[in-house]
Amino acid sequence: MAIESVGGSIVSKILELLVEPAIRQFRYMFCFNNFVQEFDEQMMNLALAFYRLQDAVDVAQRNAEEIEIDVNTWLEDAKNKIEGVKRLQNEKGKIGKCFTWCPNWMRQFKLSKALAKKTETLRKLEANCKFPKVSHKPPLQDIKFLPSDGFTPSKSSEEALEQIIKALKDDNVNMIRLCGMGGVGKTTLVKEVGRRAKELQLFDEVLMATLSQNPNVTGIQDQMADRLGLKFDENSQEGRAGRLWQRMQGKKMLIVLDDVWKDIDFQEIGIPFGDAHRGCKILLTTRLEKICSSMDCQEKVFLGVLSENEAWALFKINAGLRDEDSDLNRVAKEVARECQGLPLALVTVGKALKDKSEHEWEVASEELKKSQSRHMETFDDRRNAYACLKLSYDYLKHEETKLCFLLCCLFPEDYNIPIEELTRYAVGYGLYQDVQSIEGARKRVYMEIENLKACCMLLGTETEEYVKMHDLVRDVAIQIASSEKYGFMVEAGFGLKEWPMRNKRFEGCTVVSLMGNKLTDLPEGLVCSQLKVLLLGLDKDLNVPERFFEGMKAIEVLSLHGGCLSLQSLELSTNLQSLLLRRCECKDLNWLRKLQRLKILVFMWCDSIEELPDEIGELKELRLLDLTGCRFLRRIPVNLIGRLKKLEELLIGDAN
């Protein structure tokens, strides 16, 4: 019985080994269409998987992310496999055409077998198209330290550069101070130092952060974390400092701190520094020699102005002067001397007077010689720089360009100015009344920005969406804007908590910027009948007084960051054209119907907004509605958007 059982098993196995291959071979011969169908379906599945993954890769690359190696490998493999089956597709096409009339059995058999094998290969490849993540964000490459033609060598800068590099190589030096007057080129020089340090591989990493007169510790931490690819999970300043400290500890690092005005608490920021962290070196720039007297700077470097010959060479290049223009060059040399070797003044004045007539050069020379600005008593050695920059401003061709320049000084010092935000202020301020669309105004602002960058009145940033102002240029812009002609009042980015002008009168003010502060109180009401622009940074718990805006009937632009606002308090502000509310708790939104001239309405990151009131549909002039970051917004009334006949742009979703 056992022998029979064993024999039966053997026979069964033999039949299995013989019959199944025979059936498979039979199918290759007579089930050609089935193999074609399976192959086509698998090709379609693989192609869909390929394009889905490729779309995800494209999105990640647009977001400047690095693609995972296994994802790239799979895409390359899939692409090759898809392209490699073209021969099979051509073959099956030929057989399909002649199958009914003259089947070639051997050819059909071979092709069926090849299709089955290829189908299985494609199936396995598709099954492997599952990745935990497609990409990752790499640490940002600091483009500040990429090769640039911004560094113009001079005797003073070469000596300072050599002195700093030597100090960076000295194990006994861990803090270096670079001192020089505003506009002399300190920032440009330390960027060159960072580039050289990277080339020489002196450090594992080189970081740079700008401090300015009113340093924001959280902002400094963010600048450094961005360069390190570090994401903070901690909310407190102390927790973030601890995370930074942990990330940088034990590394050879050069940390460049630009535009320092007061002593720095490295522990508060999270910078590992001192005898226990000799690998970390600090290079800071300042205008004030007394800075760091209590911070134990071992190396003190001074950056002086250009010599007369160096100044003339730089000026001649930027003014487009030729050697043969002897009469013009005589006047131009007088103008260059008035710039007193200051690179910023030489470049801006040179560009301002480029292609001007000899008569205009003579007028400019006389203006600079007699210029002893009445507004610059506190500027000391910057008095002459002010005169030069003021001259550059005066030579801007169009009033719109000048006003766009002055609007830039409303932002805090060393701020990355969003051009989109600048556009929204400009539209509300009535800067481009001849332009019919928001996009048209945006293009005009970008054009003005390019013109101002071309004459070095503004600086470019790492992205085209932002622009910066040199702090000395900003000082000059504020002085011009504060004149009786314009009536600006700017106290932005000071971290103020109390209302700064309790005893000041507002009758002459047309523009007030208190952005970048966290005001904890506001006066009950202000008499400022000429005020057109008001920009406020408020504490998140501050309730804006109901009568605060009663005396501002001419206001056209209102921007609030933080605080709690009842829109009923704006019922008399019927001239408003741009209303920008960020991280603001908003109530009584139905009162928006009173603001019939409103062109731009912004609710950014306003968590209190759960639905839009139907009354917004009554805003017949509204061109732009921005609801970015309103994460609790659940309802927009039916046909509300359709009723806004002039609406051009609707932004909704997250900030990306």
Which one-letter amino acid corresponds to residue 412? P
Residue 70 CA to residue 53 CA, distance in Å, equals: 12
Residue 461 CA to residue 571 CA, distance in Å, equals: 39
Residue 383 CA to residue 376 CA, distance in Å, equals: 6
* Model pLDDT for residues 126-168, shown as the tens digit of each residue: 888 888 888 887 765 554 554 555 566 888 889 999 999 999 9
Q: How distant, in Å, are the alpha carbons of 164, 270, 518 from that of 168?
A: 6, 21, 39
Q: How many CA atoms lie within 13 A of 430 on its CB side?
A: 8
- 582 or 84, greater pLDDT: 582
pLDDT, average across residues 394-404: 92
Q: Which of 316-330, 463-477, 594-608 has the largest mean confidence?
A: 594-608
Residue 63 CA to residue 71 CA, distance in Å, equals: 17
Is pLDDT at 11 greater than 90 in this prediction?
A: no
466 in Cβ contact with 484 (< 8 Å)? no
Angle 496-550-529 from CA coordinates, rounded to 5°: 85
Which one-letter amino acid corresponds to residue 38? E
* Model pLDDT for residues 480-507, shown as the tens digit of each residue: 999 889 999 999 998 899 988 655 566 7
Using a 10 angstrom Cβ sphere, with 0-12 exposed, 13-18 middle and 19 or more buried, the burial of residue 392 is buried
Residue 364 CA to residue 375 CA, distance in Å, equals: 19
What are the backbone angles phi and psi of residue 168, rounded to the nearest 5°?
A: -65, -30
pLDDT tier at 613, thresholds 50, 70, 90: very high
* Model pLDDT for residues 409-445, shown as the tens digit of each residue: 999 998 999 999 999 999 999 998 889 899 999 999 9
Instruction: Say which range, 285-294, 478-487, 599-608, has the weakest mean pLDDT.
Output: 285-294
Q: What is the pLDDT of residue 276?
A: 67
Instruction: Say which range, 101-105, 119-123, 198-202, 322-326, has the weakest mean pLDDT.
Output: 101-105
Q: Do domains 143-302 and 487-653 have the same CATH topology?
A: no
Is pLDDT at 648 greater than 80 in this prediction?
A: yes
Residues 6+ apart with CB under 8 A from 72: none
Which one-letter amino acid corresponds to residue 184? V
Residue 371 CA to residue 456 CA, distance in Å, equals: 21
Q: pTM of the entire structure?
A: 0.73
Q: What is the pLDDT of residue 407?
A: 96
Residue 469 CA to residue 351 CA, distance in Å, equals: 17
pLDDT, average across residues 64-87: 82
Q: What is the pLDDT of residue 29?
A: 53
Residue 208 CA to residue 224 CA, distance in Å, equals: 7
Angle 461-464-465 from CA coordinates, rounded to 5°: 100
Mean pLDDT of the chain: 84
What are the backbone angles phi and psi of residue 356, rounded to the nearest 5°?
A: -85, 160
Strand 600-604, strand 511-519: pairing: unpaired
Using a 10 angstrom Cβ sphere, with 0-12 exposed, 13-18 middle and 19 or more buried, the burial of residue 18 is exposed
Residue 285 CA to residue 528 CA, distance in Å, equals: 40
Q: Where exactly are the structural domains of the chain?
A: 13-136, 143-302, 487-653
**DSSP H helices in 99-203:** 105-127, 155-169, 186-199
pLDDT, average across residues 49-53: 87
What letters, b where the CB count within 10 A reaches 16 and e where it falls short, cover 588-597? ebebbbbbee
Which one-letter amino acid corresponds to residue 192? E
CATH of domain 143-302: 3.40.50.300
- The two three-digit tokens of residue 126, written as one number: 């598709």
- The two three-digit tokens of residue 43, written as one number: 């090709």
Residue 492 CA to residue 413 CA, distance in Å, equals: 8
Size of the chain in residues: 656
* Fold topology of 487-653: 3.80.10
Residue 560 CA to residue 569 CA, distance in Å, equals: 13
Q: How many CA atoms lie within 13 A of 285 on its CB side?
A: 25
Q: Where are the beta strands (DSSP E) in 429-563?
A: 459-460, 466-468, 488-490, 511-519, 533-538, 557-561
- 473 or 62, greater pLDDT: 473
Q: What is the pLDDT of residue 91?
A: 60
Angle 499-505-508 from CA coordinates, rounded to 5°: 120
pLDDT, average across residues 597-606: 96
Residues 6+ apart with CB under 8 A from 151: 157, 188, 189, 191, 192
* 3-class secondary structure, 512: strand
Residues 6+ apart with CB under 8 A from 296: 175
Is pLDDT at 216 greater than 70 in this prediction?
A: yes
Is pLDDT at 567 greater than 90 in this prediction?
A: yes
pLDDT, average across residues 513-524: 92
Residue 311 CA to residue 152 CA, distance in Å, equals: 11
Is pLDDT at 101 greater than 60 in this prediction?
A: no
Residue 158 CA to residue 195 CA, distance in Å, equals: 14
Q: What is the pLDDT of residue 376?
A: 43
pLDDT above 70 covers what percent of the chain? Answer: 84
Instruction: Say which range, 269-283, 297-311, 567-581, has the weakest mean pLDDT.
Output: 269-283
Is pLDDT at 102 greater than 80 in this prediction?
A: no
Residue 537 CA to residue 518 CA, distance in Å, equals: 5
